Amino acid sequence: MPAEKAHRRSKTKQLHNHSIMSETRTIVSAAKKAIASDEDTEQVQSLVNKAVQQLDKVAGKKLMHKNTAARSKSRLIASAKSATK
């Protein structure tokens, strides 16, 4: 494959991956804000579940290391549990 084509493809992939990671950060931060603001338990749980699914999706596509995603999920779930007590 010519270098120019490879460069075009890598730029396209980079933009796509960046948008997915940006979406992931937005979802995770929304869940963290919901936990911190003592919102309704059901709403917090749904946001945490959505964040966990997104982290699994990102780790599956290897945009984030699986251990990093697992650590983020663990911390998020633990903070949600402590906040709902």
Token pair in block for residue 15: 């933009």
Whole-structure pTM over 0.85, yes or no?
yes
> 22-80: per-residue pLDDT in tens?
999 999 999 999 999 987 899 999 999 999 999 999 999 999 999 999 999 999 999 99
Q: How many domains does the chain have?
A: 1
Q: In whole angstroms, what is the distance from residue 55 CA to residue 68 CA?
A: 9
Question: For the domain that residue 58 is a member of, what is the CATH number?
Answer: 1.20.58.110
* Enclosing domain of residue 75: 3-84
Number of H helices, E strands in the chain: 3, 0
Q: Do 25 and 51 meet the contact criterion of CB atoms below 8 Å apart?
A: no
- pLDDT tens-digit map of 30-44: 999 999 998 789 999
Helix (H, G, I), strand (E, B) or coil at 33: helix
Separation CA 56–CA 58 (nearest Å):
5
